[in-house]
Structure 1
């Protein structure tokens, strides 16, 4: 893998998931390795002898499990037992390791003082070859018990830690620091349980990792080598994250470990979870960010994200399952797009246009399609045989590759057939992760399948909890179903799996909405208090921050006044989490002022947001939504200026992919290509009225009243009725079935 010259081509723990900028990464610290707080037990059994060795090296106060990167003591015990039994596929994986030229005794280390990747004098291949030897020798020792392999592995670790002083090159030096950083740390983590590794030698190796590799990992994530954060593709971030996580464990540095974890959840770069899996298609099929680039790098990204998730899992943190198994969504997408169907053609996968700083990529990048990379055993065995989920395309990848080696290119440690294989899970688990997204009179269901299931059955009810009626059975491939031609209403769904033992238990229930339904109503008609009450019946009360004032408003009613300095209104976490088509309406009295104030701005920072400004750069109102740092905003540009110094009704609707802006009941701008519905923003903790996600933008100066959000898009007559208070009264929380003035209830009426 090379990005030479940086070319740019088409709850288990306490982490904060707020937006993360460069400053949030904090100062670089290279203090000595040490202990930390008590650490959770490994999720799999640890042998007593290895645990005792780990405690002797790391100290009784260790926060971390050792060995606890890609492999735990329980993993090695499983490998030893299975190989001794001649069980498959472990026996084949063991034979692949024995056949590797890099796992043999008798080869001496070739350490370098200065390692160069990128530019003149490249010599990094010498390092990754010795890393592979150290790792493979360590595996042979752990499985066979032959200390000759342990001693030979130590020879490589000690030679490099006593010789290497510099890691340099052009921008590719960051790739070297990331890929080879996590690989070195894994070889060393295996060997730390060997009584023959002297404490000073382990400490010297840890120092090498902290002074030569971690600083480059940190620098890259903090600066992206001086370029825009979208300039680099996902694998750049992911290799740095894998290295930091591994170094944190190896060196007992909880701060480094946590730095990587926080970034993976909410970092600004393309390696963060929501950026790497760029777009979720129906059936939880997650478009990988580098699928807009080529398939060699896409499969590399799966390998790097996989090792990050596995190392975190072995320390008690479930990044595999983070955000409804988002990594599995991306892995299945990449696996499928690099496989051929029965007719010999590559599977088609859906693709949403990807935009970065320099490119719009409208179609799937087929370069290198069919790339076979030994990274799939890890992914398959976690989701299928640890968790009982279906991962059919990852499984097909493992079958076509056969026993994994290392591919010889330094991009991955490999040998996953030996190290990650697990016995099959008992079939029959219920499907999971069911969600229901309503748009245009239909509801799209997506779920996670069950290991061993042959097909799936979808059931629907008109009341919560059933009784349910089967509406579709025999679903085999895509884990999705679209319920169409629905009357306006609320529907409840479950999915069951069909397998060898019959029908499974039902999944958890998902709620779907067809038509227009009240979501949030903040009338802002109060006289006192620091909470704006949601009168829709849905409990989304908002908090007044920094003292916006209750004042006399429009037509003798009340309103909330914003001073334009620092006050705003904050809605609850994930306020728009399951919202697709929508209508947002409000009465606004804008005092004018600088461009780019916000009527509303919902998001998680400057990379994921949906906002409406009364005045953009052109002096006209603007709605915009993005999941990529404002690059390629999908926007509705206003066609008339928003009057200042008077009450104006503004509304924004999204119907399918068409966004429409209304000013005083008349359409004032539209765009038929708005593909990022609110639910695609992911988790949002900054749902604000009167404040921008960008710290440099002005606060709103003026008054706002009757701020309403609806599921579903009102048509033009419905928006006019909303403005004039001519809506029918159906009672709080009840859906409406008519159009025009009868589409919604009186939630926004005076």
Structure 2
């Protein structure tokens, strides 16, 4: 078993509607068609100057490809942004003018400052650490660029150009130890932003601008892309999220600076679906109720945790200015992370901190069982950007980011952030550059999700900017009539309902100073056991395996897969070499509590064959193996590779040469493994449900996500997936019905 811990020894992801099926213990027929799920767009075009092409890629996510002319300037700031800043500063309007005063008082924008370019810049290692010379000059160039764009005074433009020309004519390489990856990432995106602002200045000679572009793409970019591709040949979970994020930010910024769509696409797609911890699905490691998104470095320290928001926000803003909505991707997943980090680090009037929920995080190096208070209260100049996008652009509620932004304004920059800290890891000046006039608040709460958990229904939603509280309403039929079941909800925006068994429909409204808003879009949850997929393999020929529920979850026989006499009628026979059954993309992406059951006749063989394995590669999956390296049946589910998996180990291997019934259930955080109707293992810490695994396009019966694992050899019949957990008696009934 390669590249993971041995599990034998050791929503929401998206807005969705839980679809309907019919429970059938003795036969697979009788299912109803599933209603379509409600999905959040992964990216949306916002600017007519850009053409965005979306296509599905191998792991089930969406591929971003942007073509047409880039917007210039179009990284952290557009021309419209500079026009707004100039107008507000000229009018001495607060808080923009307050931010301007901080900018002009910063010594890094002093015209007497001389650049100090180096042939080689080193970060880490045993040699001299001269990287502060680079980041100081970047801060100076950026600050002077802002002063020119806002005031029109060309002496600051000339100073910015002088600094950039000095570096582009001198710098030949970045060096040091692995920390050079941080230097190339952080200073790469920052320097590219300074260059992007200045590209329209007539006093910057075309040849000099080209030399600056050449420096960025030939010295910074190769280190950025090599890191994302190789991670220095370490396990993919080894590096913290910020290492990925800074290199993504640099690649994206250099792509726009150099009009290279390929680079921009690389960064945007890695943010959506990269394997490393900086991709948003891993960076926001776990969504707690109320969309509090536990950031990946939460168990490490809060200095690094807050840096993740600064870097992630920069990526989202640069993408937004080119027509890609990474802010809104996956139901505002970045906002979930920002709200969690803001709430955990904002000092209360009494000097204390609020608590946030936490689940244990594990990677190849560490297990972190609790929230780290190290550096708690770290203040970085990143909150104005988050607050202004979600509240003043989108009209959503972001209460903790809002409080943080307002508490620390005006944000400085260039190593002098006023009330903020954080060295030179971010450019700063967010109060000046990001503040926007408020827009009309959203008309209703958005992003409502409802998922079953141990018979209850957990609801979460995004709020309205001017709301004071929220009402939760439930109906027994889609479209109502709705009955209010909870009111006066303030924080967090979540409610847990305990309805009877059935299918329930929910909406949420907001109370504002002027009355009640419209209802949110409807979300539904099934608390009854309902059949989701049933493959009988009873076809006489062909490669299709029909879904007897009518839900169109058809399987496809691949390679050495054929039909033989089964436990009930026909079964699929897998040759242990190339044979497996491929199921539909995202087969369980809208499933929470579940039961997966089948009749299995295993011919035996090496450990780690799969009865089923649904996933998106070796980082995100759920599987059942007939025998682990410990010699026992094992169920495993993870969103962070083998090191972060939650496992249920049986007390025996699957018998060979005979038909045996296997099942695994999940109810809340309790998973149970059954063999021939008897529970053979259970675990109460299984915090991951299938919907948390995310998009999957490698959903297989008889094949593993890990290429080195053996294919299953034997036969499988009556493969079933249910919504919700069957009881022990219902599992027994399945066994007896065959």
Is contact 2:560–2:577 with CA below 8 Å preserved after alignment?
Answer: no
Q: Name the CA shift for 1:544/1:500 in 2 (closer, same or farther; >3 Å).
A: farther
Tell me how far apart the structure 2 counterparts of residues 389 and 682 of structure 1 sit (CA, whole Å): 24
Q: TM-score, normalised by structure 2?
A: 0.89
CA distance in structure 2 between the aligned counterparts of 1:169 and 1:425, rounded to whole angstroms: 47
Q: CA deviation at 1:589?
A: 1.5
SS of aligned partner of 2:318: helix
User: Match for residue 583 of structure 2?
Assistant: 571
Q: Indicate the SS of the match to 1:706.
A: strand
Are residues 1:681 and 2:693 paired? yes
Residue 174 in 1 paired to residue 187 in 2?
Answer: no
2:519 corresponding residue in structure 1? 506
Deviation at 1:342, TM superposition (A): 5.0
Unmatched tracts of structure 1, length 5 or more: 1-10, 26-35, 40-62, 726-749
Mean CA deviation greater in 400-409 or 540-549: 540-549
- Matches for 1:678-717 after TM superposition, within 5 Å: 678-717=690-729
Residue 320 of structure 1 pairs with residue 334 of structure 2: no
1:658 aligns with 2:673: no
Change in 2 beyond 3 A, CA 1:189/1:284: same
* Equivalent residue number for residue 123 of structure 2: 117
| Distance in 2 separating the partners of 1:242 and 1:656 | 37
In structure 2, the residue matched to 1:356 is 363
Q: SS in structure 2 opposite 1:132? A: helix
How many Å apart are 1:547 and its aligned residue? 6.1
2: CA distance between counterparts of 1:115 and 1:18?
A: 39
| Cα distance in structure 2, aligned partners of 1:428 and 1:716 | 46
Q: Is the 8 A contact 2:60 2:695 kept in 1?
A: no
Q: Are the counterparts in 1 of residues 450 and 458 from structure 2 also a CA contact under 8 Å?
A: yes
User: 369, 372, 392: which is aligned to 1:365?
Assistant: 372
For the residues of structure 2 that align with 1:542 and 1:209, how far apart are their CA atoms? 48
Using a 3 Å threshold, how does the CA distance of structure 1 residues 37 and 580 change in structure 2: closer, same or farther? closer
* Aligned counterpart in structure 1 of residue 424 of structure 2, from 410, 420, 441: 410
**Contact in 2 for aligned 1:72/1:314 (Cα 8 Å):** yes
- Is the Cα contact below 8 Å between 2:454 and 2:667 reproduced in 1? yes
- The equivalent of 1:3 in structure 2 is none
* Structure 1 residue matching 2:504: 3-state secondary structure: strand
Aligned equivalents of 2:60 and 2:132: distance in 1?
34
Structure 1 counterpart of 2:436: 422
Find the aligned partners of 2:484 and 2:58 in 1 and give their Cα distance: 41
Contact 2:394 2:441 in 1 (8 A): no
Give how far 1:15 is off: 5.7
Choose the corresponding residue for 1:346, options 330, 339, 353: 353
Which of 456, 459, 468 is equivalent to 1:454?
A: 468
Please state if 1:545 is matched with 2:552.
no
Give 1:388's match in structure 2, choosing from 395, 411, 414: 395
Counterpart of 1:217? Answer: 224
* Residues in 2 aligned to 1:619 and 1:438: alpha-carbon distance in whole angstroms: 33
| Aligned-pair CA distance for 1:225 | 2.0
Question: Cα deviation per residue 1:311-333 (whole Å; 9 max; x = unaligned)?
Answer: 11111111111111110000000
In the alignment, which residue of structure 1 is the partner of 2:22? none
TM-superposed CA distance for 1:358, in Å, is 2.1
CA RMSD of aligned residues (A): 1.8
State the alpha-carbon separation in 2 of the partners of residues 303 and 477 from structure 1.
24
Tell me whether 1:443 sits opposite 2:457 in the alignment.
Answer: yes
Secondary structure class of the residue paired with 1:390: coil
Distance 2:335 2:142 in 1: 27
Residue 722 of structure 2 aligns to a residue whose secondary structure is: strand
Aligned to 1:534: 547
- CA distances 1:126-164 after superposition (whole Å, capped 9, x unpaired): 110100010010111111111111111100110000011
1:20/1:263 contact within 8 Å kept? no
Deviations 1:380-406 (A, max 9, x none): 111111111111000011111111112
The whole-number CA distance in structure 1 between the counterparts of 2:654 and 2:146 is 68
TM superposition score normalised by structure 1: 0.88
> Alignment partner of 1:200: what SS?
helix
1:616 is paired with a residue whose SS is coil
Q: Alpha-carbon deviations, 1:500-544, whole Å to 9, x = none?
A: 231111111111121322222222222233332222233322333
Match of 2:447 in 1: 433
**What are the equivalent positions in structure 2 for 1:6-155 lying under 5 Å apart?**
11-12=43-44, 13-14=53-54, 16=56, 18-19=58-59, 38-39=67-68, 63-119=69-125, 120-155=127-162
Q: What is the alpha-carbon distance in structure 2 between the residues aligned to residue 653 and residue 272 of structure 1? A: 30
Shift of 1:438: 0.6
CA contact (8 A) 1:16 1:262 kept: no
Correspondence list, 1:209-288, <5 A: 209-288=216-295
Write the distance in 2 (CA, Å) between the matches of 1:90 and 1:72: 16
- TM-superposed deviation, 1:343: 4.3
Identify the range of structure 1 (590-599 vs 534-543) with the bigger mean alpha-carbon deviation: 534-543
Aligned to 1:291: 298
Cα deviation code 1:437-485 (max 9, x no counterpart): 111121000011111111111000001111111111111111100002x
Unaligned runs of 5+ in 2: 1-42, 45-52, 417-422
SS of the residue 1:112 aligns to: coil
Q: Which moved more, 1:278-287 or 1:572-581?
A: 572-581
- The residue number in structure 2 matching 1:672 is 684
Q: How far apart are residue 230 of structure 1 and its match?
A: 1.4
Instruction: Name which of structure 1's ranges 573-582 and 446-455 shifts more when overlaid on structure 2.
Output: 573-582
The number of residue pairs the alignment matches comes to 678
In the alignment, the residues of structure 2 paired with residue 665 and residue 458 of structure 1 have an alpha-carbon distance, to the nearest angstrom, of 40
Partner in structure 2 of residue 747 of structure 1:
none
Cα shift at 1:572 = 2.1
Q: Distance in 1 between matches of 2:645 and 2:301?
A: 24
> Does the Cα contact within 8 Å between 2:453 and 2:592 map onto a contact in 1?
yes
* Match among 590, 612, 618 for residue 602 of structure 2: 590
SS at structure 1 position matched to 2:293:
strand
Cα shift readout 1:652-699 (whole Å, capped 9, x = no counterpart) = 111222211111111122222211111211222222211111112122
